Amino acid sequence: MNAISINGITKSFGDKKVLDDIKLDIKKGEILGLLGPSGAGKTTLIKILTGQLSAESGKSVINGTDSQKLSGKDYSGFGIMMDNFGVYERLSCFENLKIFARIYGIKNDRINEALESVGLSGDKKTPASNLSKGMKSRLRLARVFMINPDILFLDEPTSGLDPATADEIQKLIQNEKEKGKTIFLTTHTMTEAEKLCDNVALLSDGRIVEYGNPKEICRRYNHQKKLKIHLTDGTEKEIPHDENSAEIISELIKSGRAETIHTTEPDLETVFMELTGKELTA
Amino acid sequence: MKNITAVFLKQVKETFRNKAILIHFVMFPVLVIIMENAIKLENMPEHFFVKLFAIMFVGMAPLICMSSIISEEKENNTLRVLMMSNVKPFEYLIGVGTYVWIMCIIGAVVFAVCGGYSGKDFCVFMLVMSVGILLSALTGAVIGIFSKNQMSATSVSVPVTMVFSFLPMLSMFNESIEKIARVTYSQQMSLLINGIGNTDISVENIAVIGVNFLIAVVLFWGVYKKKGLE
């Protein structure tokens, strides 16, 4: 059974069509990455899926419920972390979570566990105003993890963070996946998508231009089909990726001249560029 | 009920950390204690400062606090998080409204004690203050819902509070202003408080406060229907 089904979602703001006939299915326990540059419609789609916006046409179903008819009970089944969601600056990390623990009927132990899971247990008494941007992101994640939802909607969770903090957050997301959670992730960082996602959908101008497993997509667009061999003398050698090259590779390895051998399939950035003529990080 | 409690307790936690709000709750009660004890002039009406500042307090504190709390939550997108966590708009408004009302009632008790009210007079004073606080809080909620952020809430709430807080005081010195001010609930409250122990509640008092209340409810409903809480 699909955790999320999106069928023909279309949305316009004024004359601009932001989403155009979006169709996606996300299985339980899957991480789907919605990749696209800023303004591609990623956040709009999350807002529609979580009932914050209504679609012009089409239907989306979350955990078996039409997303436009989500009730309070349904909301407790999924957690939403959006980049612009605020925290209570004057309250401590613990107090921030306590508000939502009261709403969801969660015990204090679970608050401590959630803070521990995002590495903020040492800052439980620190006011949110004293947290760095990365720590605030972790606090927002803790708020989502605390309610232990089946489905997580994460909108650009590592946006604007330094690589080390982004890496920490990616590990947290990976941990949630290992617990069997379904994760709908939007990002414009291709490495994040490659690292975390089972499947990615490339979104450009409101349309999905490609969908699939990140590695499969890259293989699909591997037009060059070459092998790149880095030699011990510092030079690089490119040879066709076919049976005729076997002897060359064998010779280089035997002579000890081959240092590394790589295939030359493109990354998601290059695929996106090929499909849309635009950069993913634009 | 648990959602209302969560919102209410959140506000309680923030009380001593949100200086901008706290100052409105304590400023007039502290001022009245100081003025009542420090200034004694001949021919000055009894408990002059209690009667003057009580109206200013009611016209200002609930209105500014309510609009400021709501607009800040909108600006910081914490209100959206609450709404996405199954807190209904009415639960949020009741939670914040109850908090503001209780904090102002504590202030009203300070006024009552300073004014030396007891027995029936104490009850009448507290009743008038309670109704006034409710009306001002409702007006503050209208402004909070209407405004996108704290800045725009302040630019609307300041002139509104000036009207409700200062008209009763200006009415003491100008008859024309007094005639206009009679249509506001704060002027009627001023008349009621000044008449405690001497005159009874009149039909005019009840009618004007009732109409003011009705207008505030209609405004609240209209703005809420149009803008919602987000």
Mutation for A interface: B70, B79, B85, B150, most A CBs within 10 A: B85
Instruction: Report the DSSP pairing between strands A2-13 and A57-62.
Output: antiparallel
For testing the chain B interface, which of A70, A90, A94, A98 should be mutated: the one with the most B CBs within 10 Å?
A: A90
Residue A269 lies in a domain: no
This prediction's pTM? 0.80
Out of A87, A89, A100, whose CB is closest to B85? A100
Give the residue numbers in A contacting B (CB under 8 Å), as ranges. Answer: 50, 52, 72-73, 75-76, 80, 84-91, 95, 99-100, 102-105, 127, 143
Same domain, A228 and A205: no
Amino acid letter, A17? K
pLDDT digits (tens, 9 = 90+) for A229-250: 888 888 887 777 777 777 778 8
CB A76 within 8 A of CB A149: yes
In a domain, residue A275? The reply is: no
A17 in the same domain as A139 = no
If one compares A158 and A26, the residue with the highest pLDDT of the two is A26
Average pLDDT of span A18-22: 89
The pLDDT confidence band at residue A208, using thresholds 50, 70 and 90, is confident
Q: Please, what's the largest Cα pairwise distance for chain A?
A: 69
Residues A154 and A179 in one domain: yes
Determine the Cα–Cα distance for residues B147 and B127; give it in Å rounded to an integer. 30
The percentage of chain A sitting over the pLDDT mark of 90, rounded to a whole number, equals: 12
Q: Which domain holds residue A243?
A: 223-264
| Partners of residue B3 in chain A, C-beta under 8 Å | 103
Mutation for testing the A interface, residue in B14, B69, B81, B150 having most A CBs under 10 Å:
B81
Q: Mean pLDDT throughout A79-102?
A: 90
Please report the residues numbered 10 through 49 in chain B whose beta carbons come closer than 8 angstroms to any beta carbon of chain A. 10, 13-14, 17-18
- Comparing CB atoms, the residue among A52, A105, A127 nearest residue B2 is A105
Residue for token pair 């009730």? A71
Phi-psi region of A2 (alpha: psi -120 to 50; beta: other; left: phi over 0): beta
Residue at A276 is within a domain: no
Dist. CA A201–CA A209, nearest whole Å: 8
State the ipTM, two decimals. 0.83
Average model confidence (pLDDT) across chain A: 85
Looking at the structure, do residues A160 and A209 belong to the same domain, yes or no? yes
* A28 and A58 part of one domain: yes
In a shared domain, residues A115 and A6 = no
Instruction: Report whether pLDDT(A282) > 60.
Output: no
Q: What is the pLDDT of residues A21-30, one digit of tens each?
A: 989 899 988 9
Same domain, A90 and A188: no
Report how far apart, in Å, the C-alpha atoms of B60 and of each of A29, A201, B56, B64, B164 are: 53, 53, 6, 6, 8
Same-domain status, A169 and A58: yes
Shared domain check, A144 and A33: no
Spell out, as residue ranges, where chain B has pLDDT lower than 70.
Answer: 229-230
State the Cα–Cα distance between residues B208 and A180, nearest whole angstrom.
62
Tally of structural domains, chain A: 3
Residue A60 backbone class (left: φ over 0; alpha: ψ -120 to 50; beta: rest)? beta
For the residues A172-178, what does the mean pLDDT come to? 87
Same domain, residue pair A18 and A63: yes
Asked if A111 and A11 sit in the same domain, the reply is no
Instruction: Answer whether residue A128 is part of any domain.
Output: yes
* Residue at a domain's end among A148, A167, A194: A148
pLDDT over 80 at A83, yes or no: no
**Same domain as A66, residue A158:** yes
Q: How many structural domains comprise chain B? A: 1
